[in-house]
């Protein structure tokens, strides 16, 4: 016997159309290949109407969930842990602020990123500054702020020492080490191999010599060791090998120099799936694989430095969708080109690294067609997605390019005199503008030229 109240609730559920998805739900649905659903399409159309295209859309819940997943995987296994966010992946202040609220430190590569971190609320000492080529002004500012300088060469060490002396301060230093490990990622982002420009090589005892020299400098506070073997790493092996080598150095420094480091930073680089069904290591996989190696290494060294990690992409990559609009569709003897209103000026990754981004045609499910999604930059190489079978798009359709939250806007340019796109953050059913769309006036800022052809 069904109670009348329940019966009417069931009837209402059957008769009433399902509530339309919130903006957040629409972003999640598009990732699950449901961008063709009318409700999902309506959400994207709403965003495009309100904010225009091309538009970077970030999902607040996704960023938060990624930060929490990493903390949950590593926290219980590594009681001495500090996680930093590598700002370069996405330098929008609101995004950085969200990760700061999650308790992450800041890893930066320039004084511009230091200033951004300070603006967001970080204090100088909470920042780690890594760059293989720091200018004198950058060294000056970092020392004055009490920021950790990740020193990349003996030449730089000398400059840091001289500047610390001039300021009458101790410079907080760690060395970036090149461990000579190949994590098998894209060549351009493979940073820890011997041929790379980064770091002091473990090979030939160069790293050890740097510590030996710095340990004798009263202006230098030696705090840690750092390495970063690459980006978009999808298997744990490279990290394991690196951890072993770096912990070997930690032990050697303790034994030969009686030097104890406050931290050992194993870098960023944790990969994300870019393809439907792609299997990548989870934070749990990585933490589980690393734990025994870490335990063994610190036991051998006789003390435990704090483990530092500094991912960027992992937090923000999957949180970002680039929404673009189709200008025209063109059939050539060989291909069907879908020409959209964004190119490598907006999303550089496909042109620069042949990176793969999933593409969804909004509101379409029929007529699967083999197409290339072509950008609006006047260069042959400006293809955002090659040889994809998609529901046939037509002029005016919206297309969502997924996993564009990392190294998307932060690598965008005004090439071809196209203003920078807008960025919005979705929280539930609300979208907040994080950065207004660039204007044509921006294109000649600092030049003295005036708008209007006068
Ligand atoms: N730490 C250092 C010292 C780095 O050089 C990088 C990235 C990171 C941390 C953060 O790496 P992530 O966790 O995001 O992989 N533009 C390329 C990626 C370049 C990465 C540069 N360094 C791309 O779009 O794939």
- CA 137 / ligand 1 centre spacing (Å): 24
Chain centre to alpha carbon of residue 386: 23
Atom of ligand 1 nearest to the CA of 271: 15
Summarize pLDDT for 152-180 with one digit per residue, the tens.
999 999 999 999 999 999 999 999 999 99
* Closest atom, ligand 1, to C-alpha of 130: 3
**Residue 2 confidence (pLDDT) above 60:** no
Is the pLDDT at 9 greater than 90? The verdict is no
Atom of ligand 1 nearest to the CA of 189: 19
Q: Is 176 in the pocket of ligand 1 (CB under 6 A)?
A: no
Is residue 424 predicted with pLDDT exceeding 90? yes
Range in 16-20, 260-264, 340-344 the model is least confident about:
16-20
Q: Domains in the chain, ordered, with CATH?
A: 19-51+320-404+408-439 (2.40.37.10), 60-316 (3.20.20.10)
So what's the pLDDT on residue 12?
59
The pTM score is 0.95
Residue with tokens 């890594």: 130
SS3 content of the chain, % helix, strand, coil (to 5): 40, 25, 40
* % of the chain residues with pLDDT over 70: 94
> For a pocket test of ligand 1, which of 99, 175, 268, 404 has the largest count of ligand atoms closer than 8 A to its C-beta?
268
**Average pLDDT over every residue of 122-133:** 97
Cβ 190 under 6 angstroms from ligand 1: no
* Model confidence at 266: pLDDT above 70: yes
How much distance in Å is there from the Cα of 229 to the middle of ligand 1? 9
**Dist CA 374 CA 18 (whole Å):** 36
Determine the distance separating the centroid of ligand 1 and the alpha carbon of 228, expressed in angstroms: 8
pLDDT, the chain, mean: 95
Q: What is the pLDDT of residues 343-395, one digit of tens each?
A: 999 999 999 999 999 999 999 999 999 999 999 999 999 999 999 999 999 99
Contacts of 65 (CB under 8 A, 6+ apart): none
Which among 84, 86, 412 is the best mutation to test ligand 1's pocket, defined by most ligand atoms within 8 Å of the CB? 86
- Catalytic residue ranges: 378
| pLDDT for position 3 | 66
Specify the pLDDT at position 104: 98
> How much is the pLDDT for 7?
63
Q: Supply the pLDDT for residue 11.
A: 60
| Buried-exposed string 123-137: b where 16+ CB fall within 10 A, e elsewhere | ebebbbbbbbebeee
Please tell me the predicted confidence (pLDDT) of residue 275: 98
CA 236 from centre of chain:
19
| pLDDT 10s digits, 297-313 | 999 999 999 999 999 99
pLDDT > 90? residue 273 = yes
Q: Residue 430 — very low, low, confident or very high, per pLDDT cuts 50/70/90?
A: very high
Phi, psi of 88 (to 5 degrees): -60, -25
For residues 44 and 36, what is the distance between their CA atoms, to the nearest angstrom?
A: 11
| Residue 287 predicted with pLDDT over 90 | yes
Each residue of 210-224: pLDDT tens digit? Answer: 999 999 999 999 999
> 437 alpha carbon to ligand 1 midpoint, in Å?
26
113 C-beta closer than 6 A to ligand 1: no
SS3 letters across 276-306: CCCCCCCHHHHHHHHHHHHHHHHHHHCCCCE
Point out the ligand 1 atom lying closest to the alpha carbon of residue 231.
Answer: 15
Give me ligand 1 centre to Cα 233, in Å: 10
Q: Is the pLDDT of residue 453 over 60?
A: no
CB of 407 sitting under 6 A from ligand 1 = yes
**3-state class (DSSP) for residue 113:** helix
Distance 230 CA to ligand 1 centre (A): 7
Q: What is the reported pLDDT for 5?
A: 65
Question: In the prediction, which pLDDT does 268 show?
Answer: 98
Nearest residue (by CA) to ligand 1, atom 5, is 228
Say how far apart CA 24 and CA 305 lie, in whole Å: 40
Q: Is the CB of 89 under 6 A from ligand 1?
A: yes
Query: Is residue 238 within 6 Å of ligand 1 at its C-beta?
Result: no
Ligand 1 neighbour 62 (Cβ under 6 A) = no
């Amino acid at each position: 016997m069904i109670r009348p109240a329940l019966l009417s609730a069931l009837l209402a559920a059957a008769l009433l159309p399902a509530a339309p998805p919130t903006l957040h739900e629409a972003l999640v649905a598009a990732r699950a290949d449901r961008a063709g659903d009318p409700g999902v399409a309506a959400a994207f159309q709403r965003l495009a109407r309100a904010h225009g295209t091309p538009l970077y859309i970030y999902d607040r819940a996704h960023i938060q969930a990624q930060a929490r997943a990493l903390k949950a995987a590593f926290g219980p296994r590594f009681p001495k842990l500090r996680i930093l966010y590598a700002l370069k992946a996405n330098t929008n202040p609101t995004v950085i602020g969200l990760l700061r609220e999650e308790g992450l430190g800041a890893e930066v590569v320039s004084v511009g990123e230091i200033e951004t971190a300070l603006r967001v609320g970080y204090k100088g000492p909470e920042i780690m500054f890594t760059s293989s080529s720091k200018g004198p002004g950058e060294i000056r500012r970092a020392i004055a702020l009490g920021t950790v300088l990740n020193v990349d060469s003996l030449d730089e060490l000398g400059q840091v020492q001289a500047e610390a002396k001039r300021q009458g301060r101790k410079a907080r230093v760690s060395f970036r080490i090149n461990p000579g490990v190949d994590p098998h990622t894209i060549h351009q982002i493979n940073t820890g191999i011997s041929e790379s420009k980064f770091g002091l090589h473990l090979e030939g005892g160069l790293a050890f010599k740097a510590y030996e020299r710095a340990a004798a400098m009263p202006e230098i506070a030696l705090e840690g060791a750092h390495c970063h073997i690459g980006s978009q790493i999808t298997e744990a092996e490279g990290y394991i090998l690196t951890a072993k080598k770096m912990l070997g150095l930690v032990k050697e420094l303790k034994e030969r120099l009686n030097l104890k480091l406050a931290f050992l930073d194993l870098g960023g680089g944790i990969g994300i799936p870019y393809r439907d069904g792609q299997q990548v290591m989870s934070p749990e996989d990585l933490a589980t694989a690393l734990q025994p190696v870490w335990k063994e290494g610190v036991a051998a060294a006789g003390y435990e430095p704090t483990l530092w990690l500094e991912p960027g992409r992992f937090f923000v990559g999957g949180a970002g969708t680039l929404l673009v609009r189709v200008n025209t569709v063109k059939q050539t003897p060989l291909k069907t080109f879908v020409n959209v209103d964004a190119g490598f000026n907006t999303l550089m990754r496909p042109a620069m690294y042949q990176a793969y981004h999933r593409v969804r045609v909004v509101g379409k499910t029929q007529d699967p067609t083999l197409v290339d999604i072509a950008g609006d930059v006047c260069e042959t190489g400006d293809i955002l997605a090659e040889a994809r079978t998609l529901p046939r798009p037509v002029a005016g359709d919206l297309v969502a390019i997924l996993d564009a939250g990392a190294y998307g806007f932060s690598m965008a340019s005004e090439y071809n005199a196209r203003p920078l796109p807008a960025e919005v953050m979705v929280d539930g059913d609300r979208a907040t503008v994080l950065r207004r769309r660039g204007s044509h006036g921006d294109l000649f800022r600092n030049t003295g030229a005036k708008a209007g052809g006068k």
